[in-house]
Amino acid sequence: MQSKAEKTSGFILEKVSPIFNQKGYAGTSLSDLTEATGLTKGCLYGNFKNKEDLAVQSLTYNVRKVIQPLSDELSNLVSPFEKLLKIAAYYKNYYQRVKDMGGCPVLKVGVDATNNHPALFEKVQSISQKLENQFQAILQDGINQGEFRKEIDPGFYAKIIYSMIEGAILMSFIHHDPQYLIHMSEYLNQIIHNQLKA
């Protein structure tokens, strides 16, 4: 059971996380935060150290929101091959998933925080590395289980796959065109079947 403080923190994150994702750190004002929550500055910072702490935790909240559905789907699969196909399918529709919340939180914060907000950049870098490591682990499991070719380098392909995904997200939002993600997904399927599958 959540304490009152935990419930308040959860409420604040629910209300302010979309604002940080849409406007970025610098573009989000204190009045945006108090207006969205109906709370005073004192109440906001009674639950969070400062604006940067709130932004860091909002990033975690936003990433969990967009990645949790994929994590849930992957947890129901045993085959690494099927997991990679599920990842490709998930990102095929990613534009629609994140459009209303202002875009991909990893990409947006990664660009916004570079050279500006060390704590925020460190957090997004950590999240990004964790996602890449998960791709690598799936590839390694596939090699160990005989589903993927033994000679492939899982670290190399994890970087390629993750770069393809984030690049397609960027282009889709620059051009307001989900076809970049759709084509990326289809090409990733080809890589999985033709380059990775044993």
Q: Could you read off the pLDDT of 119-129 as tens digits, one per residue?
A: 889 999 999 99
12 inside domain: no
Q: What is the CATH number of the domain that holds 186?
A: 1.10.357.10
- Mean pLDDT lowest for which of 15-19, 42-46, 159-163? 42-46
| Euclidean distance between CA atoms 75 and 113, whole angstroms | 31
In 3D, which of 171, 137, 128, 184 has the Cα closest to residue 157? Answer: 137
| Euclidean distance between CA atoms 52 and 120, whole angstroms | 7
Q: Could you read off the pLDDT of 58-94 as tens digits, one per residue?
A: 999 999 999 999 999 999 999 999 999 999 999 999 9
Model-level pTM?
0.90
37 inside domain: no
What is the predicted pLDDT for the residue at 26?
86
Q: Could you read off the pLDDT of 176-194 as tens digits, one per residue?
A: 999 999 999 999 999 999 9
In 3D, which of 53, 33, 58 has the Cα closest to residue 43? Answer: 33
134 inside domain: yes
Q: Could you read off the pLDDT of 2-40 as tens digits, one per residue?
A: 677 778 888 999 999 999 999 988 888 889 999 998 988
181 inside domain: yes
What is the predicted pLDDT for the residue at 1?
67
Q: What is the number of domains present in the chain?
A: 1
Asked if 94 contacts 181 with a C-beta cutoff of 8 angstroms, the reply is: yes
Please give the residue range of the domain that contains residue 134: 51-196
What is the predicted pLDDT for the residue at 126?
94
110 inside domain: yes
95 inside domain: yes
152 inside domain: yes
Calculate mean pLDDT across residues 116-138.
Answer: 93
35 inside domain: no
